């Protein structure tokens, strides 16, 4: 784990990169990274996240600045700007059931070849997917997801990069921290080693590549 | 009593001690206001919380304690938080005893469409497909008609949410269940006749042998 300045962290992200971004309606999203991506004007990004929050908040800032070429998300209903860009054809949106999306990310992070889920069987979600029968039940084979970068927001980060999260700001964060080539973290508080008890560490430090300095 | 209140009060009667319950947004959320006295249930918010409490007083909001719509909530004593994979493991794994979801259409066999109107409203399914597929007991809370047109149909014209039939539909006019895969009128709202329900419903309704009025 390396401590890094905000601008330097975002400079590592090339145009066209695939980003997994933590947060649920902007709660638990690394806002400083969002602001800096907008400032540096990264283009044609692919975003994998639960949702695109609201205009002016979290991932919504990237959408407002028209930096996103493709989104893989479960819900965009509360961001009219995402819907506008989708309808205009300037942003491709793949909608994935939330439980399937998080399991595809988990599979990507855990070295699994995919997920078998009953969700979506017999609906438009099954189109183009292999169906697998196990013990008489039908499942969809959903492929794993990985990204170039995971942008994670934690509550506590210690000097070794061990992370813990607060309340409902955890959501996708610890799962995406497993599924990207490079993991960049912002934290509400950076604390000495030992402040987070070993049993309370949710994301193990060795997963974290860069901890953004305050 | 307005339609949402009738629906929420009737659904709340389905709650049992110790249940883990997930409420969708809209009318389903109101069910939490009518938990029968003496019963304790756990409300899950799929963004990673069990023990969701009422909306906080002004000035007592926590920016990292929110519901599935991103709005501030409180957490009750005994609450716990977890990541989205665990949250949907609870849902898909059959650990959630009951979910209450909104509905756009229901067909004669209990198939639900509630997540998209192609070309008009494309918000994404969020957690709806997992909830409707994985929760042990699925109840749909919806107004019986939309702009005067029935929502309980022979066949859904909108894309389905799941092929697993729902257990019960509660509207301001009626309770409909699907024993043997067939839409069956179980209860009518106070002052509503069977004929009124039938007139507002496209599909044919079987009549339960113990048909009675909702006891609100």
**pLDDT at residue B120, rounded to an integer:** 86
Asked if the structure places residue A198 within a domain, the reply is: yes
CB contact under 8 A, B133 and A173: no
Q: Is the pLDDT of residue B25 over 90?
A: no
CA distances from B187 to A97, B175, B184 (A): 33, 5, 9
**pLDDT at residue A96, rounded to an integer:** 98
> Which structural domain, as residue segments, surrounds residue A71?
2-96+144-212
CB pairs under 8 A between A and B: 139
- Torsion angle of C-alpha atoms A108, A114, A119, A121, degrees rounded to 10: 150
Domains in chain B, number: 1
Asked if the structure places residue A180 within a domain, the reply is: yes
Asked if the structure places residue A124 within a domain, the reply is: no
Contacts of B3 (CB under 8 A, 6+ apart): B143, B171, B172
Question: A201 φ, ψ to 5°?
Answer: -75, 125
pTM of the model: 0.97
ipTM for the predicted complex comes to 0.97
Average pLDDT over residues A154-180: 98
Give A171's contacts in chain B (Cβ within 8 Å). Answer: 47-48, 83-84
CATH number, position A32: 3.40.1080.10
The minimum CA-CA distance between A123 and chain B, rounded to whole Å, is 6
- B195 catalytic residue (yes or no): no
pLDDT digits (tens, 9 = 90+) for A43-92: 999 999 999 999 999 999 999 999 999 999 999 999 999 999 999 999 99
Mutate which: A78, A104, A110, A167, vs B, most B CBs within 10 A: A167
pLDDT digits (tens, 9 = 90+) for B31-53: 999 999 999 999 999 999 999 99
Residue B119 binned pLDDT confidence (cut-offs 50, 70, 90): confident
Nearest residue, CB atoms, A125 vs list B85, B123, B129: B129
Domains in chain A, number: 1
Q: What's the DSSP call for residue B125?
A: -
* Count of Cβ atoms closer than 10 Å to residue B21 Cβ: 25
B46, B57, B61, B195: the catalytic one is B46
> Which structural domain, as residue segments, surrounds residue B163?
3-213
**pLDDT at residue A52, rounded to an integer:** 98
Give the end-to-end CA distance of chain B in Å, rounded to a whole number.
Answer: 10
Q: Is the pLDDT of residue B209 over 90?
A: yes
- Compute the radius of gyration of chain B from its Cα atoms: 17
CA distances from A183 to A5, A18, A69, A180, B130 (A): 14, 12, 21, 6, 28
The minimum CA-CA distance between B119 and chain A, rounded to whole Å, is 9
Contact A54, A24 (CB under 8 A): no
Asked if the structure places residue A10 within a domain, the reply is: yes
**pLDDT at residue B215, rounded to an integer:** 95
* Count of Cβ atoms closer than 10 Å to residue B39 Cβ: 12
DSSP code string of A19-39: EEE--BTTBT--HHHHHHHHH
CATH number, position B105: 3.40.1080.10
pLDDT digits (tens, 9 = 90+) for B177-201: 999 999 999 999 999 999 999 999 9
């Amino acid at each position: 784990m390396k401590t890094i300045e905000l601008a330097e962290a975002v400079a590592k992200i090339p145009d066209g990169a695939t980003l997994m971004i933590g947060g649920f309606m902007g709660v638990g999203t690394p806002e400083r990274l969002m602001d800096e991506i907008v400032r540096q004007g990264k283009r044609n990004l692919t975003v994998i996240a639960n949702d695109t929050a609201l205009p002016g908040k979290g991932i919504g800032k990237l959408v407002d600045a028209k930096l996103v070429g493709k989104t893989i998300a479960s819900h965009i209903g509360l961001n009219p700007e995402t819907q506008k860009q989708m309808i205009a054809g300037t942003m491709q949106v793949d909608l994935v059931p939330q439980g399937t999306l998080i399991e595809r990310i988990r599979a990507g992070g855990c070295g699994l070849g995919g997920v078998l889920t009953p969700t979506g069987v017999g609906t438009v979600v099954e189109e183009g997917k292999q169906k697998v029968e196990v013990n008489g039940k039908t499942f969809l084979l959903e492929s794993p997801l990985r990204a170039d970068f995971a942008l994670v927001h934690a509550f506590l980060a210690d000097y070794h990069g061990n992370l813990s999260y607060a309340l409902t700001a955890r959501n996708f964060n610890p799962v995406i921290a497993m599924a990207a080539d490079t993991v960049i973290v912002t934290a509400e508080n950076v604390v000495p080693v030992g402040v987070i008890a070993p049993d309370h560490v949710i994301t193990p430090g060795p997963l974290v590549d860069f901890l953004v300095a305050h | 009593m307005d339609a949402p209140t009738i629906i929420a009060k009737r659904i709340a009667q389905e709650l049992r001690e110790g249940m883990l319950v997930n409420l969708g947004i809209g009318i389903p959320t109101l069910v939490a206001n009518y938990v029968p006295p003496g019963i304790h249930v756990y409300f899950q918010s799929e963004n990673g919380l069990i023990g969701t409490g009422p909306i906080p007083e002004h000035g007592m909001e926590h920016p990292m304690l929110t519901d599935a719509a991103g709005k501030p909530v409180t957490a009750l004593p005994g609450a716990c938080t977890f990541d989205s994979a665990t949250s949907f493991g609870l849902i898909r794994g059959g650990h959630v005893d009951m979910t209450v979801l909104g509905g756009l259409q229901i067909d004669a066999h209990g198939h639900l469409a509630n997540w998209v109107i192609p070309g008009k409203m494309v918000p994404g399914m969020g957690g709806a497909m997992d909830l409707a597929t994985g929760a042990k007991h699925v109840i749909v809370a919806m107004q019986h008609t939309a702009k005067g047109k029935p929502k309980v149909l022979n066949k859904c014209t909108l894309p389905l949410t799941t092929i697993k039939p729902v257990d019960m539909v509660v509207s301001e006019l009626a309770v409909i269940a699907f024993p043997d895969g067939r839409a069956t009128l179980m209860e009518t709202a106070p002052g509503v006749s069977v004929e009124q329900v039938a007139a507002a419903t496209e599909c044919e309704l079987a009549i339960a042998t113990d048909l009675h009025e909702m006891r609100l």
